[in-house]
Amino acid sequence: MTLDALAFGAHADDAELSCGGTLIKLARMGYKTGVVVLTQGETGTRGNAEIRAREFAKAAEVMGLTAHKMLDIPDGRVEVTWENKLKIIDEIRAHKPRIVLAPYWVDRHPDHENASQLVRASVYLAGLKKVETAQEAFRPVKVVFCQGRFEFSPSFVVDITDVQAQKMSAIRAYASQFHRLDQSESTPAPDETLIGRPEFLDFIEARDRRYGAQVGVKYGEPFLVREALKVDDPVTFFGSEYLWTIP
Contact residues for Zn ion, defined by CB under 5 A? 10-11, 14
CB 5, min distance to Zn ion, A? 19
CB 45 within 8 A of CB 139: no
Looking only at the bridges linking them, the beta strands covering 142-146 and 220-224 are antiparallel
Please identify, using beta-carbon distances, which residue of 10 and 73 lies nearer to Zn ion: 10
Beta bridge partners of 116: none
Please identify, using beta-carbon distances, which residue of 14 and 91 lies nearer to Zn ion: 14
CB 12, min distance to Zn ion, A? 8
Please identify, using beta-carbon distances, which residue of 37 and 125 lies nearer to Zn ion: 37
CB 79 within 8 A of CB 125: no
CB 56 within 8 A of CB 70: yes
Closest-CB residue for Zn ion?
11
CB 53, min distance to Zn ion, A? 15
Please identify, using beta-carbon distances, which residue of 14 and 113 lies nearer to Zn ion: 14
CB 10, min distance to Zn ion, A? 5
Calculate the alpha carbon distances from 31 to 54, 65, 73, 78, 100 in Å: 24, 9, 28, 29, 13
